Each structure stands twice: as C-alpha cells, then as structure tokens.
Amino acid sequence: MSVRNHSFVTEFVIVGFPGLQPEFYGLASAVLLIVYCCTLIGNFAVLILFATPNILQKPMYIIILNLVVSDVLFSTTTLPKIIARYWFQAGAISFIGCFLQMYLVHYFGSVTSFLLLIMALDRYVAICFPLRYPMIIKNSTIHILNATAWIVAKACPLMLVIRAYPLPYCDSNTISQCFCDHISITKLACTDRAPYSFPAFVTAMVVLLGPLVFIIFSYCSIIVAVLQIASPQGRLKTLSTCSGQLIIIALYYLPRCFIYLSSNIGIRFSTDLHIVIIMSYSLLPPMINPLIYCFKTKDMKQTLMKKFKKSTAP
C-alpha cells in the first residue's frame, strides 16, 4: 500500500511509561540522564584504554572494542529522545525519524548478538584447542569476523523496516514504548498485523537464537574441557577467563529470552512492567559492561590501575 494514499500519520508520539504520573517526569528524566552519562563515561574510558597500550591489542579486546562502540551507538539512538520526552515534554518524532530509530535499534541489537557469538568462539578455541589458538584466532581474523557482523546485521532490520514502512497508519500515533521498535509501530497500523508479526518473530529468533545456540554449544564444550583438567586451581583459572563474558552474555540474552517465551506461552504483564523489563535489558548492559570489562579482564584491570596510580602520583 502507498503511504501517501493510506497513511494519515505524519509523526509519532513516544509515551514512555503510560502509567507514570506527571509529577515523576523530572525524576524519570534524571534517572535516564544518569544512565546515559554513566554509559558514555564508562565506555569512553574503555575506548581510552584501547587507544594507548599495545598490551590490549589482542583478539578478545578487539571484540570488546566493537561491543563498546555498539553499546554507545545503541544508547545514543534511544536515550536522548526519551529523556527529552520527560524533561521537555518533547515526545513527538517524525514519521521517517521513527522508522530510522527502529532500524538502528534492531541493527545495533543484532550487531551485539553476533559479536557475542564471536566472543564465545574466541573462548571456545582458546580453551578447547589452546595449541591451535594462535593459528586460528588472529587479529586479522577477528577484524574480518567483526566487520562481517556489522555488515550481516544490516539485513534483518532492513527487512523489518521495508515491510513496516508502507503499512497504512491512519488512526493512533501514540507509541507506548520508550523508543520506536517494530512491534510498537506495527501495532498502530490499520491492517491485520499477523502477516507482519510472524516474519518479525522468525527474524528475532534467527538473530537471537542462532548465536545463542552456538554460545550454549561452545560453553558446554568449554565445561567438558575444563572438567578434564586435573588441577582444581587449573580449572578455576580457566573458568575465570570466561566469567566476564558469561556475565555479559547472560545480561543480554536471559531477559530477552524471558520476554519472548513469556509472550508465547501466555504470560501477560502490565504495559509499564513490560517496558521496564525491555528498558532494563536494553540500557543497563551498556552501562554495566565497562565495569565487567575492567574488573573481570586481567590486562585491562592492570592497565587501569597503572593509569590511576599515574594520575594520583604527586
């Protein structure tokens, strides 16, 4: 259908949390602004660490660098608009701007999913095939895999936008969400959503479950390999190299899988609680991940401590 002939909506209005009373708008905007500032400060601190010492130019840290960039771009895509909505009551977003935000939200989410797969691959080879690791996982290999993740991730979000953009939007323009995403936008279309929701669900499963299946396989293989180590100290040391990555993976996948599973087995939440869960798994990991990178990664922790001692030395 032609947007020109069938769509009367020229802009959308992002509501955020529908049940939030106006007297709490200032508090909500302040909390979101703090989250955004902490995200920027933490991730830019990691970027500065990567910019200086050669010790961090290793395959795992190259993957982390790409995750940092994806996290910053995702937060910058979503948070400024919802902060403006609560701080300045500026919730309106243009028709095209909303679809652009939708594309970027799903794109950066897909990039992160593929990067976590690469991270799991790195740990899988390092622990299960330690002698072959330097030959298989090189910096050049990781650069190619990371670039592939950024390129391949474009396809699914682009398909979602291409299918959703021409739909007739001729009634409500109010989005009960903190940013434009495929579900919240297509719910507003004046047509049967079923032909569009199933392909979107399949896309989400490919982007989420495809990498997750390999991640589960890789860490099951890692556990088997670790159990074959005779020394208890050796087992703990090997597992400690995966602890940071496991936390990052759990923060990304577990809440998402919970939301998808609950919606498909009939568990229903209030709109506000549903949005809180989505915002938690969308915005908290980019803020928390820099702490995990710095305190769960030995080289980064040592480099950070050296820089701190230098900055505090008289």
Residue pLDDT, tens place only, 288-310: 888 887 766 766 767 767 766 66
Token pair listed for 197: 């929701």
For the chain, how long is the longest CA-to-CA vector? 71
Is the separation of the CB atoms in 65 and 143 below 8 Å?
A: no
CA distance 34 to 40: 10
Residue 293 contacts residue 48 (beta carbons within 8 Å):
no
Residue 84: give the domain boundaries: 11-301
Confidence of residue 69 (pLDDT cuts 50, 70, 90): very high
Single-letter amino acid, residue 7:
S
Spatial separation of the C-alpha atoms in residues 215 and 220, rounded to whole Å: 9
Answer whether residue 312 shows pLDDT above 80. no
Q: Is residue 307 part of a domain?
A: no
Q: What local confidence, expressed as pLDDT, does residue 4 receive?
A: 44
d(CA 97, CA 12): 9
- Is 186:164 a contact under the CB 8 Å cutoff? yes
Tell me if 309 is assigned to some domain. no
Indicate whether 3 pLDDT > 50. Answer: no
* Spatial CA neighbour of 81 closest among 90, 73, 72: 90
203-215 mean pLDDT: 85
| pLDDT one-digit tens code per residue, 150-184 | 999 999 899 889 988 888 888 788 998 899 988 88
pTM metric for this prediction: 0.88
Handedness of CA 80, 176, 257, 161 (dihedral sign): negative
Residue closest to 99 by CA, chosen among 22, 161, 53: 161
Number of domains in the chain: 1
Report the mean per-residue pLDDT for the chain. 84
Instruction: Establish if 1 belongs to a structural domain.
Output: no
Q: Determine whether 131 is exposed, middle or buried from the number of CB atoms within 10 Å of its CB (0-12, 13-18, 19+).
A: exposed
Is residue 174 domain-resident?
Answer: yes
Give the model's confidence band at 1: pLDDT under 50 very low, under 70 low, under 90 confident, else very high: very low
Please report whether residue 6 resides in a domain: no
pLDDT score at 45: 85
pLDDT for residue 311 is more than 70: no
| pLDDT bucket at 144, cuts 50 / 70 / 90 | very high
User: What is the average per-residue pLDDT within 84-108?
Assistant: 93
Q: Which residue has the higher pLDDT, 7 or 50?
A: 50
Residue 313 counted as domain residue: no
- Average pLDDT of the segment spanning 195-209: 77
pLDDT tens-place string over residues 23-48: 999 999 999 999 999 999 999 988 88
CATH number assigned to the domain comprising residue 74:
1.20.1070.10
Query: Is 5 part of any domain?
Result: no
Residue 308 counted as domain residue: no
Amino acid at 226: V
